[in-house]
């Protein structure tokens, strides 16, 4: 069964039935209860997540992953925020509200999701993009205390001047203006306790992702477990400011001789895992400049656009490390011909293998060789078992025909990449994050550069670099190295084969060979059967108590047992039956399965 982008829509409307996956198939691993794996704090967080999801119209998902017991009955029964909204909210907008209510980890998760157009439908991404990473700043006295703790000395000895209020605040940290001697710097300080909060949330997210893949089969098309794994890797780098300082220094050295590119210098003596101090870059962000016609007229647009594109192509093809968050807020115009690049918290190393396959894809797309594009995707291990290669080729050919021969002025790179993402998502293609980050960053930079210079020919800038990569890939020495490596792998496999075969035969002879197959959702079926049989048993006991109490109450009034009239035992039986009946009714009501 293939799921289109509409599948996610089926997850998003409270009260609608979902297409349930069957019990067929096999899987490895067993879902454990959150009470076993998450601890008390984790359970409190699960309860909060379940309630926020229910509040915004995702109560059916809460029920599907067996978290309804964490939500009060009155909340399950009342109208959700989604239903009470005056204007209908899209699925993406409701998810954005969920992430906003759940705090920094989920805000960052929503931002990460917007970088995976190959997995997430466009309408969902549009809603998530409305969520801004803007949270109230924490107390500046706390920030000063953190700086003093990290640097091991008073703030006054670190900075000759530190602004009393932050200039910007985000979910991970906030930024201050400061001075070191006579130099203007900016200081980024991490929020107190944010690491512990995110670590706890990551444990919960891993459990939720596994639960979704297990109990909501149609969600697997969005790879929740893979997304959470990627998200954790991204956050672990972003939470350690040393990583950002190292990346910033690397880019500063790479562009030190470029008169048109400015990257801040790192003040290493004032950096730690929680504090980052960088040279201040003067100017205004490119969005503000482009919106100001008077300022725009003073720029050398073609030179700025060319410098910006060359800077990112150099990151991809020469440096091998790419800033994956080049939105307009991180690009400053320092002078009519100088671009400042900021914020290197999100960087991705670009391997030769990924770059080569992407170059082959671009070459194939430019030359209308659809087979090359599909082969490159297969080499990236992006095609799923359900991908129909012929159908994928047809869809890509239609996309290429649409834009082939289009004048550069009319070529919208962002739109092309969005349509390409829609095609690969529809065919179950999952592109590696490294490649997705490159495509996304290149699209964002191209969009900014073409606004600076509508006449910019991006293809002419790419062409010599693509040829260089292809030549380096297919030159005789590279082919010889590849052949030698393949030969070594074959020899190693043959050398290990007798040992592996002997181990296999030894296990078969000893009877220790095992084949473990777990029927998908069988544990949930067993749990439901146990629950149903328990309720049925309690109902039978209640009925028996009522019948027995009725007989006792109507018995001879002269009968006395332990100096107590026997009718009182009947009345006591009615009381016990009533309590058990109320408890059973409450359990059924909480389950939300009255019909």
* Per-chain mean pLDDT for the chain: 79
Q: Over the stretch 333-376, which tens digit does the pLDDT of each residue have? A: 888 888 898 888 888 888 878 888 888 888 888 778 888 888 88
The whole-angstrom distance between residue 563's C-alpha and the CA centroid of its chain comes to 71
- pLDDT at position 206 over 50: yes
The residue from 474, 507, 531 where one domain ends is 474
- On whether residue 486 sits in a domain, the answer given is no
Lowest mean pLDDT among 15-19, 230-234, 304-308, 505-509: 15-19
- Are 235 and 349 contained in the same domain? no
- Are 107 and 201 contained in the same domain? no
d(C-alpha 103, C-alpha 121), whole Å: 23
Contacts of 6 (CB under 8 A, 6+ apart): none
The residue from 133, 154, 171 where one domain ends is 133
- Are 145 and 121 contained in the same domain? no
Quick one: pLDDT at residue 558?
Answer: 62
- The full 3-state SS of 327-391, as one line of letters, equals CHHHEEEEECCEEEECCCCCEEECCHHHHHHHHHHHHHHHCCCHHHHHHHHHHCCCCCCCCCHHH
Enclosing H/E stretch for 482: helix 476-510
Mean pLDDT value across residues 43-70: 84
- On whether residue 586 sits in a domain, the answer given is yes
Quick one: pLDDT at residue 278?
Answer: 94
- Are 145 and 106 contained in the same domain? no
d(C-alpha 278, C-alpha 261), whole Å: 16
Calculate the alpha carbon distances from 568 to 5, 85, 144, 553, 554 in Å. 65, 56, 73, 8, 11
- On whether residue 504 sits in a domain, the answer given is no
Quick one: pLDDT at residue 141?
Answer: 93
- On whether residue 197 sits in a domain, the answer given is yes
Helix (H, G, I), strand (E, B) or coil at 178: strand
Judge residue 323's burial from the number of C-beta atoms within 10 Å of its C-beta, 0-12 exposed, 13-18 middle, 19 or more buried.
Answer: buried
Mean pLDDT value across residues 237-255: 91
Quick one: pLDDT at residue 63?
Answer: 82
Give the confidence band of 185 by pLDDT, cuts at 50, 70, 90.
Answer: very high
Give the confidence band of 28 by pLDDT, cuts at 50, 70, 90.
Answer: very low
CB-CB contact of 28 with 516 (8 Å): yes
Q: What sign has the CA pseudo-torsion 585, 590, 591, 595? A: positive
- Are 262 and 220 contained in the same domain? yes
Quick one: pLDDT at residue 6?
Answer: 34
Give pairs for 571-574: CB < 8 Å, separation 24+: 573/545, 573/546, 573/548, 573/549, 574/545, 574/546, 574/549
Q: Which of 122, 119, 133 is nearest to 170 (CA)?
A: 133
**Helices assigned H by DSSP within 114-223:** 122-128, 140-151, 155-158, 194-215
pLDDT above 70 covers a percentage of the chain that reads: 82
- Are 272 and 292 contained in the same domain? no
pLDDT above 90 covers a percentage of the chain that reads: 14
- Are 157 and 115 contained in the same domain? no
Beta bridge partners of 186: 177, 278
Give the confidence band of 491 by pLDDT, cuts at 50, 70, 90.
Answer: confident
- pLDDT at position 35 over 60: no
Helix (H, G, I), strand (E, B) or coil at 413: helix
Q: Which residue has the tokens 């197959």?
A: 517
Q: Which of 243, 120, 241, 263 is nearest to 170 (CA)?
A: 241
Q: Supply angle C-alpha 258, 260, 265, rounded to 5.
A: 65
- pLDDT at position 9 over 60: no
343 vs 595, which has greater pLDDT?
343
Tally Cβ neighbours within 10 Å of residue 19: 11
Quick one: pLDDT at residue 10?
Answer: 41
- On whether residue 517 sits in a domain, the answer given is no
CB-CB contact of 247 with 347 (8 Å): yes
Contacts of 286 (CB under 8 A, 6+ apart): 328, 331, 332, 333, 339, 448, 451, 452
Give the confidence band of 189 by pLDDT, cuts at 50, 70, 90.
Answer: very high
Mean pLDDT value across residues 581-592: 72
Highest mean pLDDT among 19-28, 197-206, 296-305, 429-438: 197-206
Task: Please give the residue range of the domain that contains residue 72.
Answer: 9-133
Helix (H, G, I), strand (E, B) or coil at 179: strand
Tally Cβ neighbours within 10 Å of residue 431: 25
Beta bridge partners of 323: 347
Mean pLDDT value across residues 550-578: 73
- On whether residue 458 sits in a domain, the answer given is yes
The whole-angstrom distance between residue 265's C-alpha and the CA centroid of its chain comes to 31
d(C-alpha 199, C-alpha 331), whole Å: 31
- Are 555 and 463 contained in the same domain? no
Quick one: pLDDT at residue 407?
Answer: 67
Helix (H, G, I), strand (E, B) or coil at 131: coil
- Give the total number of structural domains in the chain: 4
- Are 16 and 74 contained in the same domain? yes
470 vs 409, which has greater pLDDT?
470
Backbone angles phi, psi at 277, to 5 degrees: -120, 125
- On whether residue 28 sits in a domain, the answer given is yes
Contacts of 455 (CB under 8 A, 6+ apart): 302, 408, 409
Mean pLDDT value across residues 92-117: 84
76 vs 174, which has greater pLDDT?
174
560 vs 323, which has greater pLDDT?
323
Give the confidence band of 20 by pLDDT, cuts at 50, 70, 90.
Answer: very low
Quick one: pLDDT at residue 317?
Answer: 85
Judge residue 365's burial from the number of C-beta atoms within 10 Å of its C-beta, 0-12 exposed, 13-18 middle, 19 or more buried.
Answer: buried
The residue from 133, 150, 171 where one domain ends is 133
- On whether residue 290 sits in a domain, the answer given is yes
Q: Which of 417, 311, 408, 314 is nearest to 362 (CA)?
A: 417
Q: Over the stretch 266-279, which tens digit does the pLDDT of each residue have? A: 999 999 999 999 99
75 vs 199, which has greater pLDDT?
199
- Conformation bin of residue 166: beta by default, left when phi > 0, alpha when psi is -120 to 50: beta
d(C-alpha 552, C-alpha 524), whole Å: 42
- Are 310 and 442 contained in the same domain? yes
- Are 73 and 47 contained in the same domain? yes
d(C-alpha 262, C-alpha 334), whole Å: 8
- Are 438 and 350 contained in the same domain? yes
- pLDDT at position 502 over 70: yes
Helix (H, G, I), strand (E, B) or coil at 309: helix
Judge residue 234's burial from the number of C-beta atoms within 10 Å of its C-beta, 0-12 exposed, 13-18 middle, 19 or more buried.
Answer: buried
Calculate the alpha carbon distances from 453 to 236, 308, 332 in Å. 37, 11, 16
28 vs 441, which has greater pLDDT?
441
Quick one: pLDDT at residue 24?
Answer: 36
């Amino acid at each position: 069964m293939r799921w289109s982008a509409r599948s996610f829509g089926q997850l998003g409307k409270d009260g609608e039935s979902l297409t349930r996956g069957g019990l067929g198939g096999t899987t490895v691993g067993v879902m454990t209860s959150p009470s076993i794996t998450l601890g008390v704090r984790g359970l409190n967080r699960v309860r909060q997540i379940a309630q926020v999801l229910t509040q915004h119209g995702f109560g059916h998902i809460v029920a599907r992953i067996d978290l309804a017991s964490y939500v009060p009955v009155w909340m399950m029964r009342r109208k959700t925020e989604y239903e009470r909204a005056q204007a209908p909210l899209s699925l993406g907008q409701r998810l954005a509200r969920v992430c906003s209510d759940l705090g920094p980890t989920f805000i960052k998760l929503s931002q990460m999701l917007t970088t995976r157009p190959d997995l997430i439908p466009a309408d969902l991404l549009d809603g998530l993009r409305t969520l801004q990473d803007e949270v109230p700043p924490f107390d500046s006295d706390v920030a000063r205390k953190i700086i003093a703790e990290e640097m091991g000395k008073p703030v006054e000895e670190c900075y000759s001047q530190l602004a009393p209020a932050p200039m910007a605040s985000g979910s991970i940290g906030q930024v201050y203006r400061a001075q070191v001697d006579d130099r203007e710097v900016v200081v980024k300080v991490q929020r107190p306790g944010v690491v512990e909060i995110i670590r706890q949330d990551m444990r919960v997210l891993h459990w939720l992702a596994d639960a979704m893949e297990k109990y909501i089969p149609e969600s697997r098309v969005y790879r929740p477990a893979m997304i959470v794994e990627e998200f954790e890797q991204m956050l672990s780098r972003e939470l350690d400011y040393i990583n950002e300082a190292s990346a910033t220094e690397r880019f500063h050295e790479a562009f030190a001789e470029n008169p048109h590119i400015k990257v801040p210098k790192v003040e290493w003596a004032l950096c730690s895992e929680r504090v980052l101090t960088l040279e201040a870059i003067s100017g205004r962000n490119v969005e503000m400049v482009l919106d100001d016609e008077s300022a725009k007229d003073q720029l050398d647009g073609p030179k700025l656009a060319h410098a910006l594109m060359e800077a990112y192509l150099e990151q991809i093809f020469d440096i091998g490390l790419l800033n994956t968050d080049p939105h307009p807020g991180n690009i400053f115009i320092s002078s009519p011909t100088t671009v400042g690049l900021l914020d290197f918290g999100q960087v991705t190393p670009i391997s030769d293998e990924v770059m080569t396959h992407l170059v082959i894809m671009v070459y194939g797309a430019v030359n209308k060789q659809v087979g090359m594009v599909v082969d490159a995707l297969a080499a990236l291990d992006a095609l799923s078992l359900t991908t129909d290669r012929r159908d994928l080729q047809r869809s890509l050919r239609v996309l290429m025909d649409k834009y082939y021969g289009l004048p550069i002025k009319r070529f919208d790179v962002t739109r092309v990449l969005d349509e390409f993402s829609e095609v690969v998502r529809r065919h179950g293609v999952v592109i590696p994050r490294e490649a997705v980050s490159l495509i996304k960053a290149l699209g964002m930079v191209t969009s900014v550069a073409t606004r600076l210079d509508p006449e910019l020919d991006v293809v002419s800038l790419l062409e010599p670099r693509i040829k260089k990569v292809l030549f380096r890939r297919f030159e005789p020495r590279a082919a010889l190295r590849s052949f030698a490596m393949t030969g070594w792998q074959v020899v190693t496999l043959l050398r290990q084969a007798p040992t592996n075969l002997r181990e296999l035969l030894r296990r078969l002879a000893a009877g220790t060979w095992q084949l473990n197959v777990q029927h998908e959702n069988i544990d949930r079926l067993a749990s439901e059967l146990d629950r149903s049989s328990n309720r049925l048993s309690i109902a039978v006991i209640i009925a028996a108590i009522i019948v027995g109490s009725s007989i006792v109450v109507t018995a001879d009034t002269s009968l006395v047992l332990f100096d107590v009239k026997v009718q009182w035992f009947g009345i006591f039986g009615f009381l016990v039956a009533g309590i058990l009946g109320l408890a059973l009714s409450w359990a059924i009501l909480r389950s939300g399965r009255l019909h």
